[in-house]
């Protein structure tokens, strides 16, 4: 089990049973069990300010300084990157809160980078940010990924070369 404390202080417990794992002792189930297999999953989170550095206008940069949250078979997290070890369909999620690091405003795009490529089409989203506006967003996408693929999060400033500060957020990939 892992006790997860979210950025706003809410705690919850996650339970993991690995392949070949056993439950020893009594097991009480209230309601019905709807699945026997836990999907492979990896997640990481930002728990303090993390700046996507070197935001040159219209150039994608990796969002870094993630802390590993947890992982189950088939998906691993290492150094701001989630690695896929089992081919399949995956749900990709990111829920950042962010503000522009300097005064003024800029349109910032955030996206999933698969195997180092710049985020394209449905794998990116954006919004206007300012230094006095801490914005929040969420992005959920589905992608076919192969064993050996990797995913990072990238950001770019479409207006100028100012950085953006990501304050809190979670980056998660789950095999469907």
CB atoms within 10 A of CB 53: 12
Using CA atoms, how far apart are residues 56 and 154, in angstroms rounded to an integer? 13
Residues belonging to the chain: 176
> For residue range 11-34, what is the model confidence (pLDDT) as tens digits?
656 555 555 566 666 767 676 655
Q: Is the pTM of this model over 0.75?
A: no
Q: In Å, what is the CA distance from 137 to each residue of 28, 111, 169?
A: 38, 12, 9
Residue 36 — pLDDT band, cuts 50, 70, 90? very low
């Amino acid at each position: 089990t892992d006790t997860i404390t979210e950025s706003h202080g809410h705690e919850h417990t996650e339970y993991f049973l690995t392949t070949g794992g056993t439950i020893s002792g009594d097991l009480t189930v209230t309601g019905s069990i709807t699945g026997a297999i836990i999907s492979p999953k990896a997640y990481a989170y930002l728990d303090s300010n993390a700046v996507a550095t070197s935001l040159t206008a219209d150039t994608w940069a990796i969002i870094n300084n993630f802390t590993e949250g947890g992982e189950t078979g088939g998906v691993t997290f290492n150094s701001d990157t989630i690695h896929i070890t089992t081919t399949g369909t995956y749900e990709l999620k990111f829920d950042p809160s962010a503000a522009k690091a300097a005064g003024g405003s800029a349109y910032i795009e955030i996206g999933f980078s698969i195997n180092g490529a710049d985020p394209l089409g449905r794998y990116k989203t954006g919004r206007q940010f300012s230094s006095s506006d801490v914005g929040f967003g969420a992005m959920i996408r589905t992608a076919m990924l192969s064993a050996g693929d990797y995913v990072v999060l990238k950001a770019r400033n479409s207006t100028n070369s100012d950085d953006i500060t990501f304050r809190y957020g979670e980056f998660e990939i789950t095999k469907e």
